[in-house]
Structure 1
């Protein structure tokens, strides 16, 4: 509770070691419990869902994955084959719907996890707004972003690797309004057929929409920088199987993963809505606003310098 009050992340090592999910879940069990069920799956060429990509015609685009329903058994098989079979050439699949899916489309697995986290229920004084199931392999990564939720992230199989930045470092991440796009099939006539990596293309959403998103990557620190990026001190942590991470709301995080011997990485997370009534939300937005203002000033200064050089 003291760490929650300080708005600081922490890991409870083996915090979920006695969960039924930790004792039961493996590829065979998941396939048996989910037998005959279809699930929503995100499909991308490179595991780059909800991230920034470069298009020659449009510049930076915030690209969302192509989504469709597939049998869970097929999703699991594709995820494992891509991890374990060097000859696999298909796209990357990630079960990541983030819509309280463990209490809806994965409800047959819900009895294997607690309905809430005891310390979070006391410290945050509320029940979870969403409980999500995640299944993928090392090809799937999550770009640096933040959420308006208090997050309890629990690793069941494999490992998760986090780079964490506090809200005060918002001036470091080079947030920009990025044109939104979505991966779509090049040939819409193959909707029911097997998706090929080369068959996925980025299409700009219509009507045009712009998404505020961090364009600086702590793993590529000299690209897309602001004058403050070099001051960032990312906190890097790894969740082992059974570990539990408390990630405060509005903390930036980039996530990658390592698989179990079966070629899968599986996790569960609990989202608790942010308390917008306190001073933290206002302060975080003030700091973000200062960062955005500095970006605007730098852009204006660059334009003035360029004009002066052209006149010279």
Structure 2
């Protein structure tokens, strides 16, 4: 049963700010610890002004990338391989009635396309973090990343298209039914709202939900441990910056090291079962 529309009806809007300076952002980051949308914060970035599929195709190479198709978090997706240029060209050529669902996630975009360096500005965030991981998300309308939470704070900028976020506070983690599967830097929920099992997840719909549709130039600050569901409402380009403390990054790297060597949640993970 698809309960997306029902959850949207139950959801309250995420707080929005028209502007933010260094001091007010520090207060959001360290004191409020709540999601905030900074409207139009990235509207003058080179990314928002220049990046579209045609522009990226012109710069892209034939380096191999990994693609997902379907809802990766709830486990119905498989990794596929393509070259970056081939994928972007296919995405550009699809029509609105296409069932094309391949999704380029967590792309180290400045490694693949170094000419794009300088087209974003996360400095207001990075002055408060020890380690940062910048990644791009590129895909067609309808791509979904199911409910999960991340180990680091996230500043998420929408560059092209619109994206829906549904967000849940970390204090309701038990009612999000966390999965025991290992996923690097995150925890997945077992709940799939587009194929919802009301018998299994009886307490899910009683928790508070927040929603926002990000438009090009909007930036969402999403604190660590907040659960979120993401769906592209258009063909979309987004870029996120995950910020970590040194202790957080050490813990992530240690668990990943142990997992890949068979000492932690072996064969109970997303990376090995795909």
TM-score by length of 1: 0.63
RMSD of aligned C-alpha atoms?
Answer: 2.7
**Structure 2 runs not aligned, ≥5 long:** 1-25, 249-274
Give, in whole Å, the separation in 1 of the partners of 2:27 and 2:199: 36
Distance 1:66 1:269, change over 3 A: same
Distance 1:113 1:230, change over 3 A: closer
Cα pair 1:51 1:143 within 8 Å, conserved: yes
Q: Where does residue 203 of structure 1 map in the other structure? A: none
Determine helix, strand or coil for the equivalent of 2:198.
coil
1:152 and 2:155 matched: yes
Cα pair 2:73 2:148 within 8 Å, conserved: no
Distance 1:42 1:19, change over 3 A: same
Q: Where does residue 9 of structure 1 map in the other structure? A: 35
Report the alpha carbon displacement of residue 229 of structure 1 after superposing the two structures with TM.
Answer: 1.9
Greater shift, 12-21 or 72-81, is seen at 72-81
1:65 and 2:65 matched: no
Report the alpha carbon displacement of residue 27 of structure 1 after superposing the two structures with TM.
Answer: 2.1
Report the alpha carbon displacement of residue 141 of structure 1 after superposing the two structures with TM.
Answer: 0.5
Q: Where does residue 18 of structure 1 map in the other structure? A: 44
Match of 1:120 among 116, 121, 125: 125
Determine helix, strand or coil for the equivalent of 1:176.
coil
Report the alpha carbon displacement of residue 162 of structure 1 after superposing the two structures with TM.
Answer: 0.3
Cα pair 2:149 2:187 within 8 Å, conserved: no
Give, in whole Å, the separation in 1 of the partners of 2:178 and 2:36: 26
Q: For residues 170-208 of structure 1, give each alpha carbon's deviation from its aligned partner in whole angstroms, at most 9, with x where no partner exists.
A: 11112233599xxxxxxxxxxxxxxxxxxxxxxxxxxxx
Cα pair 2:73 2:189 within 8 Å, conserved: no
Greater shift, 156-165 or 20-29, is seen at 20-29
Cα pair 1:172 1:216 within 8 Å, conserved: no
Distance 1:9 1:269, change over 3 A: same
Distance 1:213 1:118, change over 3 A: closer
**Structure 1 runs not aligned, ≥5 long:** 53-61, 181-210, 278-312
Larger Rg: 1
Report the alpha carbon displacement of residue 31 of structure 1 after superposing the two structures with TM.
Answer: 1.4
Alignment of 1:1-312 (within 5 A): 1-4=26-29, 5-34=31-60, 36-44=61-69, 47-48=70-71, 50-52=72-74, 62-70=75-83, 72-82=84-94, 84-86=95-97, 88=98, 91-96=100-105, 98=106, 101-114=108-121, 117-122=122-127, 125-126=128-129, 128-177=131-180, 213-218=188-193, 223=198, 225-259=200-234, 264-274=235-245
Cα pair 2:54 2:92 within 8 Å, conserved: no
TM-score by length of 2: 0.71
Distance 1:150 1:276, change over 3 A: same
